[in-house]
A and B are shown apart, each in its own frame.
Chain A
Amino acid sequence: MSQVVELKRSPELPGDFAMWCFILAELLVFAMILCSLAWARSQWPDMFAAGSAGLDRLAGLTNTLVLLSGSYAAARGIAGGTGRSVSVGFALAAGSGLLYAVVKCAEYVHMYGAGLTLRTDTFHFFYFFGTAFHLMHVLLGMVMLLVVALRARREARLDDQRRRSADAVAAYWHMVDLVWLILFPQLYLFS
């Protein structure tokens, strides 16, 4: 009688523990912003409806699609398993971050030109503070993506250390995407 022994590998952490501590801390900060925004909206519904109506919804939708595509490129790069795939995927993801930043800055310039600032009202305080804080995370993510893309480009196959670095940076990038998915409807879609 043969005995079949099934060996189950315990699930591995994608990336490293330190990066996940950082990501979870960042998520807590964003939770405060997102929940404060929701609470403020419940207190001043008319102000927030008027503020949302004044935003460029097409720009918000475009940026959502751009970030989702960047996340997809980063995930595909890792799934490829080679230095080249990571390098190309991460470079494309960083490019999506650049496009996101350009669209967001164009929105800021347009709104500033219309006399809207952080001090206009509570809605615009949350709009400028929340999106600028998020934009800073996009910019930091782009730098990390480019560093890993440059280091990985000459490697045929990723070693464990490079793989962990790529996983950690990709997880950070997806976190930026995840936060935007909740911030976007609150600012642009709720009326």
Chain B
Amino acid sequence: MADVLEVDGVSLRFGGVLALDGVSFAVREGEIVGLIGPNGAGKTTCFNAVTGVYRPTAGEIRFRGQRLAGRKRYQITKLGIARTFQNIRLFREMTALENVLVGADARHGTSVPGALVRAPRHWAEERAGRELAMDLMRFVGIDRRAGELARNLSYGEQRRLEVARALATGPTLLCLDEPAAGFGPAEKEQLLKLIRDIRDRGVTVLLIEHDMRLVMGVTERIVVLEFGRTIADGTPAEVRDDPRVVAAYLGVPTDAA
């Protein structure tokens, strides 16, 4: 399998703080990879570097062989990297459907002239966007709430809506930032299935998650960060038995996880 994402010796410095210190790992096509580590290890920073929010101080990130340096965030999204946010960031006053449509618009090209004169492309893209959006809402299981304002959706529905919105951009790689935060056991179980379904749709998944059971249960490979460094990279079983991971991250016997 080809590498979809290559993070190659990436360092990121904020003033005196070295948030990422030569992080390297790769994500292969069709994988579900977990990115774990204690609080402040640099997981979200790493996401932000991949999605173009921060520019690495050193090192390089390649997506399907293309260097991401110098690309704007929206261009990276259009290349095929989509994300969700740790703290939900929906467009709260838009309907659920409209939220997904904004994502779907990443595939579209209608701009001011086309919208003004109602060009055929405008209509075609509106129709395609709506179909795609409804399809994705069904996929994440919130299609009945399509016309509801995002702010009125329940917490779990909002998390799902964020996934649908990200998928609408047509990603090759989906970065999920703690998608199970605040979820109960039943919801986590559903999320597990959703993540596998996403992969079965042909989307590679990179997952930040605190819940060890969830990470161990769904990922094929886990990258462990500590103090901005990669300290382990392997299958869930390998990582679980890695003494450095146990010491640094879990701090408790592994069978408790």
Partners in one complex: no
Interface residues, chain A, CB within 8 Å of chain B? none
